[in-house]
Structure 1
Amino acid sequence: MAFVYILRCSDGSFYTGSTVNLSFRVAQHNAGEGAAYTRERRPVELVWQAEFQRIAEAFGWEKRIQGWSRAKKQLLIDGRYEELPGWSARTRSARSPGDASSR
């Protein structure tokens, strides 16, 4: 299994990443062993996640989400998928990243 995730940093910003071991990766971020971006913005909190069969799928969604505005990321975190521009019912059922979301 693989995951794409969003962290809320201590300054209120979001960080999006992907991994095959979510709990370990979040712990790395909070220990200052993660990305340079989160190292300066600890502690971080996991606010959204989605599970995929393959890391390539999770990485693809990571890159897609990284390009989104803060407002669009907040819609995803809040589970307001119907309000996401370009987020069709077909996309949700085909990918269903929100089905595994958590706060």
Structure 2
Amino acid sequence: MDCSPPNGRPWFLYVIACRGGSLYTGISTDVARRFAVHQAGKGARYTKSHPPEKLLLTVEFPNRSHALQAEYAFKQLSAAEKRAFCMRHENVSD
């Protein structure tokens, strides 16, 4: 089953630096919109209590399935490994 959006847009894994030094990881077809939702306190429960400070990384995937697999794999990394990955892949959004 193809999990691509009907309009064929890619999916993205994104990593946000949150207040207190923690990281939040998610997936979306529109990272800028999703980041704005997180900043407004209307996103995930985690970002309501750990406000987002900066979008650190976005990585493009051809469909939702691949993005979900990458999200799962990324969340299995230690905090140090996640930060190192973000530093190595600096297609960083400001």
Aligned to 2:56: 47
Q: Is the 8 A contact 1:3 1:20 kept in 2?
A: yes
The answer to whether the Cα contact below 8 Å between 2:16 and 2:52 also exists between their aligned partners in 1 is no
Instruction: With a CA cutoff of 8 Å and minimum separation of 6, indicate the structure with the bigger relative contact order.
Output: 2
Aligned to 1:84: none
CA contact 1:38–1:44 (8 Å) conserved in 2: no
- Paired residues, number: 84
Measure how far apart 1:27 and its partner are. Answer: 0.4
Secondary structure of the structure 2 residue equivalent to 1:37: helix
Gaps in structure 2 of 5+ consecutive residues: 1-9
The DSSP-based 3-state class of the residue aligned with 1:12 is coil
Q: TM-score, normalised by structure 1?
A: 0.76
Gaps of 5+ in 1: 80-97
Contact kept, 8 Å, 2:14 with 2:25, in 1: the verdict is yes
> Does residue 67 of structure 1 match 2:76?
yes
| CA distance in structure 2 between the partners assigned to 1:24 and 1:66 by the alignment | 22
| Contact kept in structure 1, 2:16 and 2:24, CA below 8 Å | yes
Q: Which residue of 1 aligns with 2:40?
A: 31
For 1:78, the equivalent position in structure 2 comes to: 87
**C-alpha separation in 1, matches of 2:22 and 2:60:** 22
Q: Using the aligned pairs only, state the percent identity.
A: 31
TM-score by length of 2: 0.83
Q: 1:59: Cα distance to partner?
A: 1.2
**How well do the aligned residues superpose, as a CA RMSD in angstroms?**
1.4
* CA distance, structure 1, for counterparts of residue 21 and residue 59 of structure 2: 21
SS at match of 1:49: strand
Hey, which of these two has a bigger chunk of helix by percent? Answer: 1
